[in-house]
Amino acid sequence: MDIDDNEPKPSGELALRTYALPKDTNAHGNIYAGWIVSQMDLAASVAGEKATQSRVVTVDIAQMDFVSPVKVGSVIDIYATITETGRTSLKIQVEVWAHKYDETDFHKVTDAQFVVVSVDQQGRAQSIKQN
């Protein structure tokens, strides 16, 4: 990855990689914030289900600031870090970074804290099994 040692770097494990496509834009050609949030939710679920080895549901998304725009055709990398494990819930810090296909123009788009809850087959909160 083409990242300068002095530049900020993503924290966490790569949970999801996708493309920003023309269908994800508004009439002005900008990527919707809501599309980014939905990709972050998927990444939080991937990280949460891997960590808990169970289904998870999202119960909370903390405040988000979008610090740079996303251009159509960008590769979107979403990183996740589990910052706290509760009885049934996980706090997961999710960061979104964008870059071109050739890994240039690497920049942070946004981050947010997600809370996901481990649930059973009936959708009830269940204790997280500790390894």
Ligand X SMILES: CC(C)(COP(=O)(O)OP(=O)(O)OC[C@H]1O[C@@H](n2cnc3c(N)ncnc32)[C@H](O)[C@@H]1OP(=O)(O)O)[C@@H](O)C(=O)NCCC(=O)NCCS
Instruction: Show contacts with ligand X in window 77-116 (CB under 6 A).
Output: 86-89, 115
**Helical segments of 1-131, H only:** 33-52
- For ligand X, which is the closer residue by CB, 35 or 97? 35
The answer to the question of residue 20 lying near ligand X (CB under 6 A) is no
Are 118 and 127 in contact by the 8 Å Cβ rule? The answer is yes
The total of other beta-carbon atoms located within 10 Å of residue 90's CB is: 22
The answer to the question of residue 54 lying near ligand X (CB under 6 A) is no
Stretches 6-14, 20-28, 93-101, 118-126: which one binds ligand X (CB under 6 A)? 118-126
The answer to the question of residue 30 lying near ligand X (CB under 6 A) is no
| 106 CB-side CA count, 13 A | 14
In this structure, what are the phi and psi dihedrals at residue 123, rounded to the nearest 5 degrees?
Answer: 80, 15
Candidate residues 33, 57, 64, 72; the one interacting with ligand X per rule CB under 6 A: 57
The answer to the question of residue 42 lying near ligand X (CB under 6 A) is no
Return d(Cα 95, Cα 40) in angstroms, integer: 8
Residue numbers of the site for ligand X (CB under 6 A)? 57-60, 86-89, 115, 117, 119, 123, 125
